[in-house]
Amino acid sequence: KQEVTQIPAALSVPEGENLVLNCSFTDSAIYNLQWFRQDPGKGLTSLLLIQSSQREQTSGRLNASLDKSSGRSTLYIAASQPGDSATYLCAVLGGAGSYQLTFGKGTKLSVIP
């Protein structure tokens, strides 16, 4: 059964700092990996999708990398802003022949002005 772990569970940084969020998964036979943002009490906003054959994806100040063989992904946020404060979720599609997304518990990010 696929398991996804995110470290750290919470992170507080001053505005302007660069930061890295970590995600690991147990079954490397994934099809893709998605990073989401979730604001309190709200839905899931997709940030980046990395296919299993890709090493990284970039969108604006966000860069996500994928090392499928070691079961790891990182989300790099450059020049953090208070508006980046949210919970960031990592989810993988696949593992054990499944097409369901398996989510981590998330990293709660607070960017202090």
Partner 1 sequence: EPEVTQTPSHQVTQMGQEVILRCVPISNHLYFYWYRQILGQKVEFLVSFYNNEISEKSEIFDDQFSVERPDGSNFTLKIRSTKLEDSAMYFCASIPGLAGGPRAYNEQFFGPGTRLTVL
Structure tokens at 113: 């002005």
- CB nearer to partner 1: pick between 72 and 108: 108
State in angstroms the smallest separation of the CB of 6 from partner 1: 10
Pick between residue 41 and residue 113 the one whose CB is nearest to partner 1.
Answer: 41
**What is the smallest separation between the CB atom of 112 and partner 1, expressed in angstroms?**
23
Residues 88, 95: Cα–Cα separation, whole Å: 21
Give the burial class of 28: count Cβ atoms within 10 A of its Cβ; 0-12 exposed, 13-18 middle, 19 or more buried: middle
Give the burial class of 85: count Cβ atoms within 10 A of its Cβ; 0-12 exposed, 13-18 middle, 19 or more buried: middle
Task: Supply the minimum distance, in Å, between the C-beta of residue 19 and partner 1.
Answer: 22
Question: Where does this chain bind partner 1 (CB under 8 A)?
Answer: 31-32, 34, 36, 41-46, 49, 51, 89, 91, 93-94, 98-106
DSSP state of 42: -
Q: Which is nearer to partner 1, 91 or 109 (CB)?
A: 91
- For partner 1, which is the closer residue by CB, 24 or 102? 102
d(CA 30, CA 35) in angstroms, rounded, equals 14
Residue 15 beta carbon to partner 1: minimum distance, rounded to whole angstroms: 27
